[in-house]
Structure 1
């Protein structure tokens, strides 16, 4: 006897006339209506380069010039462009040409990581010129000559790229910001060369140094070693704890007294008396006189006269060649004041 066909356990459709429907979609952020993939982060803490005495070896390392400026993240969003400093402050209004150029890039949403710089006559990035264009520390000027050197792409048209390896991120960045441009946003190009040779050439041309990046690394916030910087001339932030009066120097500032951090205390590391221009010295003197202190913030045994102590609230960017045997800066030169919005940090002694 033939068996009747088995009845399906459940009909494919309860109602044959009902329309076919897909699964309900997750709710999307109304501020980002076109994004169907990864939500766009409001801010990403930057990946920082670890200072090393010499370039790393190996085929996995890609090299770039080290730029001397302000680290920025350019956010291209549906609502417009935001430019954030390393410390998370919104400086969009201070870089109008960069913001305008970002709007012209052929992308709906993106986060570019890079450095704002101002070039000198030889085409070298100059931190002092960048500061002057912004009106100095705490200034409110807009910089029309600043250029954004883009070296990473963290978000691209709805995709979070921080878990993607550097090689793929660079490939997308180079399609978005072509090499050789002269606009306010330019590509920081990778340089195919041996690290030691590139460092020597960079130093011969008066550049600050080079950066090496692991091609296989993802983007991780902090100073974890996937990025390495090697400097021709050391340059770091030091707290100003006082100054020496002078009747002949610009602004009557003969020298700044500097300190580094060791644990929870400040340690005197010497003085700097070069690198000032007349107008800078006058502004610096006026700023320091507003925060005078009755006693030094460090132990001082230098024997200098005519010293004025101040509260350690100002961080100066200082170039120097090396350290002396007794822990002082060798051949220091003043470059400018770091801005608190740039997450100014005082150099930490080992």
Structure 2
């Protein structure tokens, strides 16, 4: 089936994380703190799907007409973002993606509208272009999109990766991505042609339970998968919003912990089905893999628990 008609694309993934570097073989883009999305746009309609192929337009109805901003039928890879105080705000786009009440979604869209930033094109006019080198795809992207406040094209610089990273760091942004200029687009593959250079470290974890402490403080219990087994990864207490905790609390409870080994210090824990995924940012990992100064960034529905892997 035609790539556009099938609407089942699993995007290419970043395959490596390393320190900032300079190279004429790469372009450098900002790493936007949003939700990855594939956009299917033709002359009559917009379709947005996240990495799990869940339809997202119902969550961001203000983007229903971005198809009017492209000259030819296309498939775009990019980031769904909500900007707050001049920066992409991960919590706001994740909060929106978890909403189901139409009226609340409309209020959120009016207050903090979402936008789509495209950084790649996989299909142009009537054929796939994923086998073209990145720089040729970028030319098609720039040729095809008429930017407005709902859809834009990711900017990039060449050569000066270290300087660009330092600028992102100074502005407390998530980091940058380096992409090899001659790279093709490989569907559903993790490739070292794309390199992540992060300022704020974060990772995805399975929400395995919680502990209620004094003064209304909640500590969420984290896990990640090693092969088919859940491994205990500690707790996070800072940053948990009331809305996220209500979702965690409403998840069905289970009688015992889901880990292979019982983690100490969890005698008062409420264990839940390991079905939710959250993002936690932190300063660094200790020698035994625990997190230094963890802060809860939010729940996310664009990843499954099995995607949360011990690194």
TM-score using structure 2 length: 0.89
1:153 corresponds to which of 116, 121, 140: 121
1:237 corresponds to which of 176, 179, 204: 204
- Correspondence 1:1-350 to 2 at 5 A: 40-43=4-7, 44-77=9-42, 80-102=45-67, 104-121=68-85, 123-136=86-99, 141=105, 144=109, 145-177=113-145, 181-192=147-158, 194-221=160-187, 222-249=189-216, 253-281=217-245, 283-288=246-251, 291-298=252-259, 299-339=261-301, 341-343=302-304, 346-350=307-311
Richer in strand (by share): 2
**Partners of 2:174 and 2:3 in 1: CA distance:** 37
**Partners of 2:248 and 2:184 in 1: CA distance:** 45
**Partners of 2:32 and 2:199 in 1: CA distance:** 12
Richer in helix (by share): 2
**Partners of 1:346 and 1:334 in 2: CA distance:** 18
**Partners of 2:268 and 2:45 in 1: CA distance:** 53
Deviation sequence 1:314-338 (CA, Å, 0-9, x none): 1111111221112211111111111
Secondary structure of the residue aligned to 1:93 is coil
**Partners of 1:190 and 1:277 in 2: CA distance:** 34
Instruction: Quickly say closer, same or farther: Cα 1:174–1:79, change in 2 above 3 A.
Output: closer
**Partners of 2:215 and 2:248 in 1: CA distance:** 14
Task: Point out the structure with max Rg over C-alpha.
Answer: 1
Structure-2 residue corresponding to 1:21 = none
**Partners of 2:3 and 2:215 in 1: CA distance:** 59
Report which structure shows greater RCO (CA 8 Å, sep ≥6).
Answer: 2
Q: Give 1:57 deviation, angstroms.
A: 4.3
Secondary structure of the residue aligned to 2:11 is coil
Unaligned runs of 5+ in 2: none
Is the CA contact (8 Å cut-off) linking 1:68 and 1:125 kept in structure 2? yes
Instruction: Quickly say closer, same or farther: Cα 1:344–1:42, change in 2 above 3 A.
Output: farther
Deviation sequence 1:276-328 (CA, Å, 0-9, x none): 233443x235324xx21111112233324421111211111111122111221
Instruction: Quickly say closer, same or farther: Cα 1:51–1:99, change in 2 above 3 A.
Output: farther
Secondary structure of the residue aligned to 1:170 is helix
Structure-2 residue corresponding to 1:3 = none
Is the CA contact (8 Å cut-off) linking 1:69 and 1:117 kept in structure 2? yes
Is the CA contact (8 Å cut-off) linking 2:56 and 2:97 kept in structure 1? no
Instruction: Quickly say closer, same or farther: Cα 1:82–1:279, change in 2 above 3 A.
Output: closer
RMSD: 2.3
TM-score using structure 1 length: 0.79
Secondary structure of the residue aligned to 2:141 is helix
Secondary structure of the residue aligned to 1:45 is coil
Secondary structure of the residue aligned to 2:24 is coil
Instruction: Quickly say closer, same or farther: Cα 1:134–1:87, change in 2 above 3 A.
Output: closer
Unaligned runs of 5+ in 1: 1-28, 30-37
Count of residue pairs brought into register by the alignment? 302
